[in-house]
Amino acid sequence: MIMLSFETTREVVLHLTTNHLKGNFTLWYPYALFQNSITEKQTGFAAKDSVFEHPEATLFIICTVIIIATLFVAHMLVKKKLKKQKILTNYETEIRIAKRVHDEIANEIYNVMCHASSNDLGEVNNKERLLINLETVYNKSRNISREINNIDTGRGYKSQLKLMLSEYQAADVNIIIKDVDKIDWNKISETKKIAVYRALQEIMVNMKKHSNATLVVINFKLKRGKICISYSDNGIGMQISPITSKNGLLNVENRMVSINGKVIFEPKPGKGLHLTLTYPA
């Protein structure tokens, strides 16, 4: 008598059953579906066992997803903040310009009108005075226009920047500009050029209106892939106070933040204003 092992017996029975069912399609089709179902379940259990056997891999995947989601949310928040700061800066600039037009131009025009209506313009002295007043109005209008005009961000940028800074020089104010030619401005993006131009312009306006300085030194340097612009004057300096009271210098900070830069203030009341603009080249 031939003794068969359990495994051999099971295989023989399975073979005979399968051959029998194949001959009968009505029985074979449900049987085939049953076999496929068993196979799929076994595969699923094997995959689950594989995952549970490697918890480190599962943890790595979860952490990666969380990090990617966090970076995406952070990027969107920073982008939204920069957009808001840009809008705020533009709004404050418009208010400042409107105030200057009202305070300087409107007042001068009113004085011209009063002079013309209350004096005999046939007299030489009155006529000369009228012309002087009109020239004053023209010069102030031209200065405001230059502050809000388009900036040449191409090859003429360096010349325009130097010209803008030099225009604040007067009989009692000496402006020294150092090493601006050592910066390769052609490699700087248009956005950064505009932000820096406007920031320096804000600083110079602040100097003219508040500092009482007679000497201003602006130095340009390139350090480790970053452009550093240092400003110093010998005016009355800046009091240590909240950011909102920095004599309009809030706009300078907003502009630098918009290009991933920063401003370092060195408040020294009575010893002039010292600050540094730093941003990626």
Q: What are 144-164's pLDDT values in tens digits?
A: 666 666 788 899 999 999 999
**pLDDT, position 91:** 56
- Residue 199 CA to residue 164 CA, distance in Å, equals 12
Report how far residue 217's alpha carbon sits from residue 199's, in angstroms, rounded to the nearest whole number: 16
More confident residue, 97 or 118: 118
> Do 144 and 187 form a contact (C-beta atoms < 8 A)?
no
Tokens 């007299």, located at residue: 123
Question: What is the DSSP annotation of 44-95?
Answer: HHHHHHHHHH-HHHHHHHHHHHHHHHHHHHHHHHHHHHHHHHHHHHHHHHHH
CA-closest candidate to residue 250, choices 89, 96, 105: 89
Task: Identify the three-state secondary structure at position 155.
Answer: coil
Which whole number is the average pLDDT over 69-77?
Answer: 80
Residue 46 has pLDDT above 60, yes or no: no
Give the separation between CA 29 and CA 235, rounded to whole angstroms: 97
Structure tokens at 13: 């029975």
Split at pLDDT 50, 70, 90, the class of 233 is very high
Q: Give me the percent of the chain exceeding a pLDDT of 90.
A: 25
Supply the pLDDT for residue 234: 92
**Confidence band (pLDDT; 50, 70, 90) for 179?**
very high
What is the pLDDT at residue 215? 95
User: Count H helices, E strands: the chain?
Assistant: 8, 5
Of the two residues 86 and 120, the one the predictor is more confident about is: 120
- What is the reported pLDDT for 34? 47
CA–CA distance, 187 with 96 (Å, rounded to integer): 32
Q: Is the pLDDT of residue 9 over 70?
A: no
pLDDT of 39 strictly over 90? no
- Does 114 have pLDDT greater than 90? no
The predicted model scores a pTM of: 0.56
Can you tell me whether residue 160 is helix, strand or coil? helix
What pLDDT band is residue 226 in, cutting at 50, 70 and 90? very high
